[in-house]
């Protein structure tokens, strides 16, 4: 009978760790999904320096847009500044999701340890 109680306690710890790990992995995987610029429609920014934004253009459309920003040397810098800004926004979101994923995993691990300590004191 004592052996069965230990198995139940171990199973409950494993279930806690498993559930928190699954939630943590899902959030981490969401963080890894490719990010699309969401605010570009309002600002008119097309992000020609980021492959995800120009991959749907034909070669001619891409050339026209690149020539448009190359006419003036400052336009290239402006395009780079805008791209870096929006990529930084995307990285910030991904960073927050990864921190949340890590914290969820740590909370699950600590919960399982606390359950182990509590069950150890009972037995």
Confidence at residue 13, expressed as pLDDT on a 0 to 100 scale = 83
Indicate the range of 4-13, 61-70, 101-110 predicted with least confidence: 4-13
User: What total of structural domains would you count in the chain?
Assistant: 1
52-79 pLDDT, tens digit per residue, is: 777 888 899 888 888 888 887 777 888 8
Of 59-63, 105-109, 111-115, 118-122, the range with the lowest mean pLDDT is 118-122
Res 25: pLDDT: 95
Answering whether pTM is above 0.85, one says: no
Counts for the chain of helices (H) and strands (E), in that order: 5, 0
- Confidence grade of residue 44 (pLDDT, cut at 50, 70, 90): low
Determine which helix (DSSP H) or strand (DSSP E) holds 56, and give its type and residue range: none
DSSP state letter for 122: H
The arithmetic mean of pLDDT across residues 11-26, rounded, is 91
Structural domain that includes position 57: 2-122
Separation of CA 36 from chain center = 13
CB atoms within 10 A of CB 86: 21
């Amino acid at each position: 009978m004592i052996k069965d109680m230990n198995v139940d306690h171990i199973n409950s710890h494993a279930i806690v760790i498993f559930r928190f790990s699954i939630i943590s992995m899902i959030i981490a995987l969401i963080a890894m999904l490719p990010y699309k610029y969401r605010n570009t429609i309002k600002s008119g920014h097309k992000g020609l320096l980021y492959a995800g934004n120009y991959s749907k253009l034909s070669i001619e459309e891409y050339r026209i847009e690149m020539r448009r920003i190359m006419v003036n040397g400052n336009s290239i810098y402006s395009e780079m500044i805008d791209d870096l800004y929006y990529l930084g926004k995307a990285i910030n979101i991904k960073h927050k999701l990864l921190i949340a994923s890590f914290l969820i995993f740590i909370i699950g691990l600590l919960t399982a340890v606390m359950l182990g300590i509590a069950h150890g004191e009972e037995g």
